[in-house]
Amino acid sequence: MAIVLSIDNLSKKYGSLKAVDNLSLQVEEGSIYGLLGPNGSGKTTTLGMVLDVIRPTGGNFSWFGNGINKATKQRVGAILETPNFYPYLTAKRNLQIIADTKGADHSNIAKMLDLVGLGTRSNTMFKGFSLGMKQRLALAAAMLNDPEVLVLDEPTNGLDPQGIAEVRDLILRIADQGKTIILASHLLDEVEKVCTHVAVLRTGKLVTNGPVGTILSAQEQLIVSAEELAPVLQLLERLPYITRFAREKDYVVVTLQEGYSSTDLNRDMFAQGIVLSQLVARRKSLEKQFLEIIKS
């Protein structure tokens, strides 16, 4: 699969503050790539740099194997901040002005309004739009020049549940057209439901990245007890499929790699002469795992 965006040791400093710290990642064509992290983790700054809005302190990036230039920008649509429209102009007229600015064909306007579900509201003034409708109009504006990549910064921020659902559904429909989408979010639920790949950021640094199903999978945890915990802990140190473990009073919480189960652990414990008095499986919530990832 072709690489759409490649980021190599990208950094941004504001005085002594490192907003982004040697970030490296690659976004493949056709993916929905999420930058996930709490507020202040460097998501918006990263997007600002790759969109040539913020000047990097160090490192580099490339779009489609090339640096940022006018031709590259034509292939990328973006919503980086709160979209600005003229409140007393209609949706259609606002898009006409934006199309002229971008050099996009006016014939795309009706198609994009239909795509975002605003075809019947093209002659409605912007000031009468709900927050969800305003965000959908912003998506239409970003899509006017039919870009190959769509970059979105917190696309559901401030929306009510209905608006969130509408925007999420729209993102998936746009992706189904073969577009690559890069979005920043602090919402675990949003990334889990929409994205194919994710990079987790914390204080400007990359914590982990990969397919959503791998990074944010609800891994199996085991509660393990025995008369003597010392030999249990010693064996857990040596077993290659143990992701992590932690002693909690008179038991141990064990996290296994994908593809392994309590049967594997019980077998290996018994083979070393360790009889477990408790072996209980439980599933970790995605929220808890995400909190563990950003704290680790």
> Quick check: 92 and 129 in contact, CB under 8 A?
no
Residue 283 makes CB contacts below 8 A (sequence gap 6+) with: 218, 219, 220, 221
pLDDT-above-70 percentage for the chain: 94
Rounded Cα gap, residues 157 and 221, in angstroms: 33
Residue 12 pLDDT exceeds 90: yes
Supply the pLDDT for residue 286: 60
* Residue range 35-88, pLDDT digits in tens: 999 889 999 999 999 999 999 999 999 999 988 888 888 899 999 877 789 999
Residue 13 pLDDT exceeds 90: yes
In this structure, the number of other CB atoms found within 10 A of the CB of residue 96 comes to 16
Domains annotated on the chain, with CATH = 3-215 (3.40.50.300), 220-295 (3.30.70.100)
DSSP assigned state of 61: E
> Quick check: 167 and 159 in contact, CB under 8 A?
yes
Stretch 197-213: mean pLDDT: 90
Supply the pLDDT for residue 238: 94
Secondary structure of residue 86 in the 3-state scheme: coil
Joined together, the tokens standing for residue 221 give 């945890």
DSSP assigned state of 66: B
Rounded Cα gap, residues 11 and 9, in angstroms: 6
Residue 191 pLDDT exceeds 70: yes
Lowest mean per-residue pLDDT among 80-84, 98-102, 138-142, 188-192 = 80-84
In this structure, the number of other CB atoms found within 10 A of the CB of residue 94 comes to 22
Stretch 5-17: mean pLDDT: 95
Secondary structure of residue 74 in the 3-state scheme: helix
Name the band, by pLDDT with cuts 50, 70 and 90, for residue 294. low
* Residue range 113-158, pLDDT digits in tens: 999 999 999 999 999 999 889 999 999 999 999 999 999 999 998 8
Supply the pLDDT for residue 289: 65
Name the band, by pLDDT with cuts 50, 70 and 90, for residue 281. confident
Residue 296 pLDDT exceeds 60: no
Supply the pLDDT for residue 211: 87
Residue 282 pLDDT exceeds 80: no
Give 178: exposed, middle or buried? Use CB within 10 Å, 0-12, 13-18, 19+.
exposed
Q: Amino acid identity of 69?
A: N
Residue 189 pLDDT exceeds 90: no
The mean pLDDT value of the chain amounts to 90
Supply the pLDDT for residue 149: 96
Name the band, by pLDDT with cuts 50, 70 and 90, for residue 283. low
C-alpha pair distances (Å), 287 with each of 201, 215, 272, 291:
15, 12, 35, 6
Stretch 248-254: mean pLDDT: 87
pLDDT-above-90 percentage for the chain: 66
* Residue range 229-246, pLDDT digits in tens: 999 999 999 999 998 888
Supply the pLDDT for residue 253: 87
Rounded Cα gap, residues 35 and 234, in angstroms: 37
Residue 288 pLDDT exceeds 70: no
Sign of CA dihedral 160, 166, 171, 172: positive
